[in-house]
Amino acid sequence: MSAAATSNPAKTALIIGGYSDIGIAIAHALGAEGYQLQLAARNSTRLERDITDLKLRYQIEAEAIELDVADTASHAEFVANLTPQPTLVVSVAGLMTEQAAAQADFAQAEAMITANYSGLVSLFERFASQMEQSGSGCLVGVSSVAGDRGRQTNYIYGSAKAGFSTYLAGLRNRLAGKGVHVLTVKPGFVNTRMTEGMDLPEKLTAEPQEVAAAITKAISKQRNIIYVKPIWQLIMLIIKHIPEFIFKKLDI
C-alpha cells in the first residue's frame, strides 16, 4: 500500500514498547499498510514527533498512550479504555540489565522478569480473551534467542524471555482454531539504542527495519515462530543440543 494509504478503523495495531527503535520501525511498516496506530510507552510524550510523522506520512490515525508494563494493577483499565480495540497487538517491550548487577540486587532481576515476562502476560491475557470472544485478531510477542538455553552471561534475562516464549506457545495452543493468530519473534542481536556501544557481529545483527519487515511478513503468512536472522535458528539448535556435562563447563 502506498504512503497515501487511508487508515482503516477495522485494522488497528497497538504497539507495546512503542518508543523503542524496533517499535517505531514496526509502526512505520504497519502505517504503510494502512493500520490505525496506538503506540504505548512510559513517558508517552516522547512520541509526539513520531506520531506527527506517522500521521502525515501515511495519512492514518495515530496516538501515543501512557502504559507502564510493570504496573499490572493498571492494565485492566488501560485495555478497557482503548478506542478502538486493537485487532493486532505487538509487544516489543523489554528490559536488559547487567547480569552481575541482577545477581547482586534482586530488585534489578525482578524488574527484568516483570518487563520481559509477567507484565506482558498480564496484558496479553486480557487481549487474548477479547480476541477469543470475537473470533479474530493477532498477538505478536518479541522474545529472544537468549531464552532458548540458559547461559551464565545472561541467564536472568534469558529465563524471563524463555518464560515469555513458553507462554506464547501455550497461548497459541489455546487459541488454535479460534481465529486468533499468535506469533513468537526471536530477533537475535539488533542494532538499537539498547545495544549502542556493544561490539556486535555484523552478520548476526539485524536493523530495526529488518525486524519490522520480518514481523509484517510473518503476520501475513500466519507463521508461528520466526528467527529474524535465520542463522540464529541454526546457532541455537547447536547450542541447545550440547550435552549438559559439556555445556556447564563452557564460558558463554
- Predicted confidence (pLDDT) per residue in 112-142, tens digit: 999 999 999 999 999 999 999 999 999 999 9
Predicted model pTM: 0.94
Instruction: Quote the pLDDT of residue 2.
Output: 35
Question: What mean pLDDT is predicted for residues 59-67?
Answer: 98
For the stretch 107-137, what's the b/e string if a residue is b when 16 or more beta carbons lie within 10 angstroms of its beta carbon? Answer: ebbebbbbbbbbbbbbbbebbbebbbeeeeb
Question: What mean pLDDT is predicted for residues 241-246?
Answer: 97
Domain ranges for the chain: 8-247
Q: Is 157 one of the annotated active-site residues of the chain?
A: yes
Selected catalytic residue, list 19, 157, 167, 227: 157
DSSP annotation of 92:
-
Q: What percent of the chain has pLDDT over 70?
A: 96
Closest CA relative to residue 127, chosen from 114, 144, 140: 140
Instruction: Quote the pLDDT of residue 227.
Output: 98
Residue 231 pLDDT > 80: yes
Residue with cell 485492566: 76
Instruction: Quote the pLDDT of residue 198.
Output: 74
Residue 199 pLDDT > 80: no
Residue 216 pLDDT > 70: yes
Q: Which CATH number fits domain 8-247: 3.40.50.300, 3.40.50.720, 1.10.357.10, 3.30.930.10?
A: 3.40.50.720
Alpha helices in the chain (DSSP H): 21-31, 48-58, 75-80, 99-104, 106-113, 119-134, 155-175, 208-220, 231-240, 244-247
Instruction: Quote the pLDDT of residue 115.
Output: 97
Instruction: Quote the pLDDT of residue 201.
Output: 86
DSSP annotation of 8:
E
